[in-house]
Chains A and B, each alone.
Chain A
Amino acid sequence: MKWTFFHRLSSPKWFYEISGRCLVWTGAAALACTLCGLLWGLLFAPPDYQQGNSYRIIFIHVPAASLALVVYLALAVMSAINFVWKIKLADMAAACLAPIGASFCSLALVTGAIWGKPTWGAWWVWDARLTSMLILLFLYCGLMALRSAFTSQDMASRACAILAMVGLVNIPVIKFSVEWWSTLHQGASLRIVGQSSMDPSMLKPLLVSLAGFYMFCLFVFLLRLRAEVVWREWRTSWVRALLERSAPHVL
Chain B
Amino acid sequence: MKSARRQRLALLFFIVFGAGSALGLMLAALDENANLYLSPAQMRSGEAPVGIRLRGGGLVVEGSVHRDPDSLAVAFQITDGAGTVDVHYKGILPDLFREGQGIVVTGVLDEDGQFRAEEVLAKHDETYMPPEVKSALETASSTRAESASRPSGDPADDSASTPGAGAVL
Query: Which residues does A use to contact B, with CB under 8 Å?
Result: 1, 46-52, 55, 58, 80, 83-85, 118-122, 125-128, 162, 165-166, 168-170, 173, 180-184, 186-189, 197-199, 201-202
Interface on chain B toward A: helix, strand, loop, or mixed SS?
A: mixed
Interface stretch (choices B46-54, B127-135, B158-166): B127-135
CA distance A122 to B123 in the complex (A): 11
B132-A120 in contact (CB<8A) = no
B96-A181 in contact (CB<8A) = no
B16-A165 in contact (CB<8A) = yes
Smallest beta-carbon distance A3→chain B, Å: 8
Q: Would you list 15 pairs from A and B whose C-beta atoms are within 8 A, ordered by A residue?
A: A50-B124, A83-B12, A119-B122, A121-B120, A165-B19, A166-B15, A180-B34, A186-B124, A187-B125, A187-B126, A189-B128, A197-B126, A197-B127, A198-B127, A202-B128
- A173 to chain B: which residues have CB within 8 Å? 23, 27
Contact A166-B36, Cβ < 8 Å, known A48-B129, A120-B122? no
Smallest beta-carbon distance A28→chain B, Å: 30
B57 interface residue (CB < 8 Å to A): yes
Please name the residue on chain B nearest to A49 by beta carbon: B134
Smallest beta-carbon distance A136→chain B, Å: 14
Smallest beta-carbon distance A71→chain B, Å: 18
B74 interface residue (CB < 8 Å to A): no
Interface on chain A toward B: helix, strand, loop, or mixed SS?
A: loop
CA distance A184 to B102 in the complex (A): 9
A169-B20 in contact (CB<8A) = yes
B109 interface residue (CB < 8 Å to A): no
B95-A119 in contact (CB<8A) = yes
Smallest beta-carbon distance A186→chain B, Å: 5
Please name the residue on chain B nearest to A85 by beta carbon: B5
- B12 to chain A: which residues have CB within 8 Å? 80, 83-84, 165
- B36 to chain A: which residues have CB within 8 Å? 125-128, 181-184
- B76 to chain A: which residues have CB within 8 Å? none
B121-A121 in contact (CB<8A) = yes
Contact A120-B126, Cβ < 8 Å, known A125-B36, A169-B23, A199-B133? no
B8 interface residue (CB < 8 Å to A): yes
CA distance A31 to B133 in the complex (A): 32
B104-A184 in contact (CB<8A) = yes
Please name the residue on chain A nearest to B20 by beta carbon: A169
Smallest beta-carbon distance A44→chain B, Å: 12
A201-B34 in contact (CB<8A) = no
Select which of B5, B34, B94, B130 is within 8 A of A46 by beta carbon: B130
B35 interface residue (CB < 8 Å to A): yes
Contact A202-B131, Cβ < 8 Å, known A119-B94, A120-B122, A182-B36? no
Smallest beta-carbon distance B32→chain A, Å: 9
B9 interface residue (CB < 8 Å to A): yes
CA distance A187 to B123 in the complex (A): 11
- B121 to chain A: which residues have CB within 8 Å? 120-122, 125, 184
Contact A49-B131, Cβ < 8 Å, known A83-B12, A168-B16, A182-B37? yes
A202-B130 in contact (CB<8A) = yes
Contact A186-B94, Cβ < 8 Å, known A85-B5, A165-B16? no
Smallest beta-carbon distance B54→chain A, Å: 13
A198-B129 in contact (CB<8A) = yes
List which B87-105 residues lie within 8 A (CB) of chain A: 93-96, 104
- A186 to chain B: which residues have CB within 8 Å? 123-126
CA distance A90 to B95 in the complex (A): 48
Most buried by B among A48, A50, A202: A50
B96-A51 in contact (CB<8A) = yes
CA distance A58 to B57 in the complex (A): 24
Select which of A49, A165, A183, A198 is within 8 A of B15 by beta carbon: A165
Smallest beta-carbon distance B53→chain A, Å: 13
List which B19-60 residues lie within 8 A (CB) of chain A: 19-20, 22-23, 27, 34-37, 39, 57
